[in-house]
């Protein structure tokens, strides 16, 4: 907006929509009053742009710091670099004005807003929406706090609003107002189909505010998530040996002793904390196999598990699964191309069916019956490689089928001495270990043959599994699944009972060589029948 056409609001309420730190650098520029946003990104929002909307009061706006130092700009330049991060914070805003602002943006960009980070204000604040002619101003919004009589012109209407605000400020009214606005935001999220991460200034320095004062946490879901800012900021403060009391006058997170708004350092810490929190919540974990007690124990240890089993997976149709769950779901919802897909597989490949032991023919039929399952996961990993989607896989298997143990010599399956546990075919006696090792070897090759620069795989043998160690085993598997890409565990098999590793260790250079070799083979002309 041109300075020559400034709103009369600036003369009467100079601090409502203006701030001396509006520039992206150090210049004192204007902001879009009509859209009530501090960001410059809205000027070039394209039809295909994905929007992260940051809504709140002065703690979102960034009162007292330049735009480049705000937590919203740090998110724009960091974890949300592929999005348009829009700051619509308003200094002094009440929760009613915050939700009203969000509603306007939902009308403007209903298809493009994918994520909303909303910082609710102090619950005692109120907003008065007047007719234009009542205030004789260009704006009809007056935002006040109880006991706040800062307006220099002492308009009669504002005096009355101040008095009314003081009367309305009761614990019951404050709580009710907050919860109504919270419900409104959740409703808007459902209507417009965006994810919400929310926090409240009231919670700063009071980690139990939400639990004590509201029913808010009962609203939490996968798409509507509460962030305890105090907790996540304190983690960083402790790590950096800073004063963790947010309101302490000497805290480096605040501008000064007299100004409790976040300093440039505070904004950076907050941005890091929010990014860490959201990345964890965005972590996607697919769990195949959900019915066994062990699977249920594993699920309890996972971050954001998505459950798959025979009730919702057709193992004979991997193409449809890839189309729906990878192309349409995962790729469209991930924050950026570096998002890792995490997969745990605990599906049944049992070979202790007594009919299987009757003959080699029966065993062959059984092996063919499980081939759909094996091929499904092979095809799944092939497609993830093709799409270059980073993936970590932890699957339940056995140490049978692996010839090398790291701390001893070879570990090969041995022939059973139990005559009742043998396969007979035309007078040939073969140990049942054969069928077990064959199945497990096929399973292991299904996963390890897809090792690539973007695929990491680790097998787990839950030998000795019982009710006493089930929880411990599940926790170990979850920790292994989320290990760093360069961890030495990958491409091997771990026996949970013995705490020993099996398989040939493969480093990253070997992986790249193997992957390139496989690509070269694919490009060679195939022999004609």
Residue 8 structure tokens: 């009369």
For 443-494, write each residue's pLDDT tens digit.
Answer: 898 998 888 999 999 999 999 999 999 999 999 999 999 999 989 899 889 9
* CA separation for the pair 382, 388 (Å, rounded): 10
**Which class does domain 3-235+267-281 fall in?**
alpha beta
CB 264: neighbour CB atoms within 10 A?
A: 18
* CA separation for the pair 284, 341 (Å, rounded): 6
Instruction: Please report where in the chains the tokens 């009071």 appear, as a residue.
Output: 206
Ramachandran quadrant class, 64 (left: phi over 0; alpha: psi -120 to 50; beta: rest): left
* CA separation for the pair 60, 279 (Å, rounded): 20
Residue 100 structure tokens: 């009203």
Q: What is the pLDDT of residue 227?
A: 86
CA triplet 216, 219, 221: central angle to 5 degrees? 135
* CA separation for the pair 199, 206 (Å, rounded): 12
Q: What is the pLDDT of residue 301?
A: 93
The candidate with the shortest Cα–Cα distance to 458, out of 435, 475, 479, is: 479
Q: What is the pLDDT of residue 11?
A: 37
* CA separation for the pair 169, 147 (Å, rounded): 10
Residue ranges of the chain whose pLDDT lies below 50:
1-34, 136-138, 152, 403, 405-430, 529
| Intervals of CATH 3.40.50.1110 along the chain | 3-235+267-281
CA triplet 414, 415, 416: central angle to 5 degrees? 115
**Helix spans in 283-370 (H):** 293-299, 318-321, 331-333, 360-369
CB 139 within 8 A of CB 97: no
Q: What is the pLDDT of residue 30?
A: 41
Q: What is the pLDDT of residue 229?
A: 76
Instruction: Please report where in the chains the tokens 């400020």 appear, as a residue.
Output: 169
Instruction: Compute and round to an integer the Cα radius of gyration of the chain.
Output: 30
* CA separation for the pair 95, 190 (Å, rounded): 19
User: What three-state secondary structure class fits 290?
Assistant: coil
Residue 190 structure tokens: 């459902």
Q: What is the pLDDT of residue 132?
A: 53
User: What three-state secondary structure class fits 243?
Assistant: coil
For 200-234, write each residue's pLDDT tens digit.
Answer: 887 665 556 666 666 767 777 778 888 887 777 77
Query: What fold, for 283-514?
Result: Rossmann fold (3.40.50)
* CA separation for the pair 164, 174 (Å, rounded): 14
The candidate with the shortest Cα–Cα distance to 420, out of 428, 411, 412, 429, is: 429
| Intervals of CATH 3.40.50.720 along the chain | 283-514
HSE at residue 527, side-chain half, CA atoms within 13 A, is 1
| Distances in whole angstroms, Cα of residue 231 to Cα of each of 183, 209, 280 | 24, 12, 15
* CA separation for the pair 329, 331 (Å, rounded): 6
């Amino acid at each position: 907006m041109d300075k020559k056409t400034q709103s009369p609001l600036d003369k009467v309420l100079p601090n409502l929509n203006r701030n001396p730190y509006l520039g992206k650098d150090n210049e004192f520029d204007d902001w879009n009053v009509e859209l009530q946003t501090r960001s410059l990104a809205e000027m070039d929002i394209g039809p295909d742009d994905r929007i992260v909307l940051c809504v709140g009061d002065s703690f979102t706006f960034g009162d007292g710091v330049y735009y480049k130092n705000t937590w919203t700009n740090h998110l724009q330049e960091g974890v949300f670099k592929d999005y348009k991060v829009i700051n619509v914070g308003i200094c002094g805003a009440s929760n009613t004005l915050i939700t009203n602002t969000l509603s306007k943006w939902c009308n403007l960009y209903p298809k493009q807003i994918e994520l909303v980070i909303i910082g609710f204000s102090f619950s005692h604040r109120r907003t008065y929406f007047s007719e234009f002619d009542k205030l004789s101003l260009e704006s009809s919004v007056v935002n006040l706090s109880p006991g706040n009589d800062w307006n220099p012109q002492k308009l009669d209407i504002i005096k009355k609003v101040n008095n009314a605000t003081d009367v309305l400020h009761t614990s019951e009214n404050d709580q009710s107002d907050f919860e109504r606005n919270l419900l409104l935001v959740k409703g808007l999220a459902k209507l417009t189909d965006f994810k919400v991460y929310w926090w409240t200034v009231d919670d700063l320095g009071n980690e139990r505010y939400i639990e004590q004062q509201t029913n808010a946490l009962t609203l939490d879901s996968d798409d509507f998530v509460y962030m305890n800012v105090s907790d996540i900021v304190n983690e960083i403060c402790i790590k950096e040996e800073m004063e963790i009391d947010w309101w302490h006058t000497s805290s480096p997170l605040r501008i000064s002793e007299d100004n409790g708004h976040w300093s440039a350092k505070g904004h950076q810490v907050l941005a890091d904390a929010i990014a860490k929190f959201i990345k964890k919540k965005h972590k996607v974990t697919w769990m195949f196999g959900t019915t066994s007690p062990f699977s249920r124990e594993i699920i309890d240890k996972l971050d954001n598990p998505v459950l798959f089993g025979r009730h919702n997976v057709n193992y004979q149709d991997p193409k449809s699964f890839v189309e729906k769950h990878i192309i349409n779901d995962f790729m469209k919802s991930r924050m950026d191309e570096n998002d890792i897909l995490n997969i745990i597989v605990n599906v049944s490949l049992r070979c202790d069916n007594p009919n299987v032991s009757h003959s080699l023919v029966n065993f062959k039929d059984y092996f063919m019956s499980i081939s759909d399952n094996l091929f499904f996961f092979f095809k799944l990993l092939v497609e993830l490689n093709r799409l270059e989607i980073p993936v970590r896989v932890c699957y339940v298997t056995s140490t049978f089928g692996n010839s090398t143990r790291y701390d001893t010599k070879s570990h090969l399956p041995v022939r059973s001495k139990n005559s009742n546990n043998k396969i007979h075919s035309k007078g040939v006696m073969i140990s049942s270990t054969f069928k077990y090792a064959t199945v497990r070897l096929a399973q292991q090759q299904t996963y390890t043959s897809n090792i690539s620069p973007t695929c990491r795989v680790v097998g787990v043998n839950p030998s000795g599994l019982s009710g006493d160690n089930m929880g411990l085993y599940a926790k170990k598997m979850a920790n292994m699944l989320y290990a760093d890409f360069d961890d030495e565990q990958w491409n091997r098999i771990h026996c949970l009972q013995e705490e020993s590793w099996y398989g040939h260790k493969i480093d990253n250079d070997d992986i790249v060589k193997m992957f390139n070799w496989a690509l070269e083979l694919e490009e060679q002309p195939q022999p004609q029948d």
